[in-house]
């Protein structure tokens, strides 16, 4: 970060503008914190900088590979004190969603996720536009799939980190599955 400041690059700064509540959800809006993104240069806030400086809206999920979802779920809830949102066994796979904090990201323990590294799943407002923007910076498309929340594209960074971006097309999925306990 210090090197960026010395070069004169703009760094993103987020500022809380307020929170949306249940009344907002009733009007078709998502609940949660409203953030405004600005850019900071060595001289302070830059009013001419692009307010959409950050590429993603927020980290919603961390998909974690699990060889034993039921056992891992118990550890995350009993030992760490997390709240189980759902535990689904369907179509030959097990997935458990756990909240460790009031706000996302949610932990998703999944036996169908290959490898040992977690996948950081970021929300974007428009998946096609986000993928086009990433491609314009030299990024190569990965695998596209549908998750219950909407369309997703996953990929790996050159260092092996696993990242996915998705568009929240079905915002009521978590609420729909909340409380379901198949195992």
Whether 75 and 112 map to the same domain: the answer is: yes
Whether 169 and 106 map to the same domain: the answer is: yes
**Domain residues for 18?**
2-45
Token output for 80: 């760490």
Per-residue pLDDT at 54: 85
Per-residue pLDDT at 50: 55
DSSP-derived 3-state class of residue 167: strand
Whether 18 and 69 map to the same domain: the answer is: no
Contact 54, 119 (CB under 8 A): no
Q: What whole-number distance in Å separates Cα of residue 40 and Cα of residue 132?
A: 25
* Number of domains making up the chain: 2
Per-residue pLDDT of the chain (183 residues; tens, 9 = 90+): 333 333 344 444 444 444 555 554 454 544 444 444 444 444 455 555 555 568 899 999 999 999 999 999 999 999 999 999 999 999 899 999 999 999 999 999 999 999 999 999 999 999 999 999 999 998 988 999 999 999 999 999 999 999 999 999 999 999 999 999 999
CATH (domain of 127):
3.10.180.10
Q: Residue 125's CB: how many other CB atoms inside 10 A?
A: 11
SS (H, E, C) 67-125: CCHHHHHHHHHHHCCCEEEEEEEECCEEEEEEECCCCCCEEEEECCCCCCCCEEEEEEC
Q: Is residue 113 situated within a structural domain?
A: yes
Whether 21 and 97 map to the same domain: the answer is: no
pTM for the complete prediction?
0.72
Q: Is residue 183 situated within a structural domain?
A: no
Per-residue pLDDT at 183: 96
Per-residue pLDDT at 110: 97
């Amino acid at each position: 970060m210090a090197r960026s400041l010395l070069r004169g690059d703009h760094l993103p700064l987020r500022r809380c503008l307020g929170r949306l509540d249940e009344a907002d959800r009733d009007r078709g809006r998502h609940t949660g914190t409203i953030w405004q993104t600005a850019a900071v240069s060595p001289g302070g806030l830059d009013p001419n900088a692009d307010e959409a400086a950050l590429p993603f809206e927020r980290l919603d999920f961390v998909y974690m590979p699990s060889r034993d979802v039921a056992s891992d779920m118990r550890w995350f809830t009993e030992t760490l004190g997390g709240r189980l949102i759902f535990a689904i066994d369907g179509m030959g796979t097990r997935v458990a969603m756990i909240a460790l904090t009031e706000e996302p990201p949610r932990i998703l323990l999944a036996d169908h996720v290959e490898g040992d590294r977690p996948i950081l799943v970021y929300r974007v407002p428009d998946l096609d536009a986000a993928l086009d923007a990433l491609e314009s910076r030299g990024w190569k498309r990965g695998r596209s799939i549908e998750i219950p929340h909407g369309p997703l594209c996953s990929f790996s960074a050159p260092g092996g980190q696993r990242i996915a971006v998705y568009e929240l097309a079905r915002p009521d999925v978590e609420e729909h599955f909340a409380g379901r306990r198949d195992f």
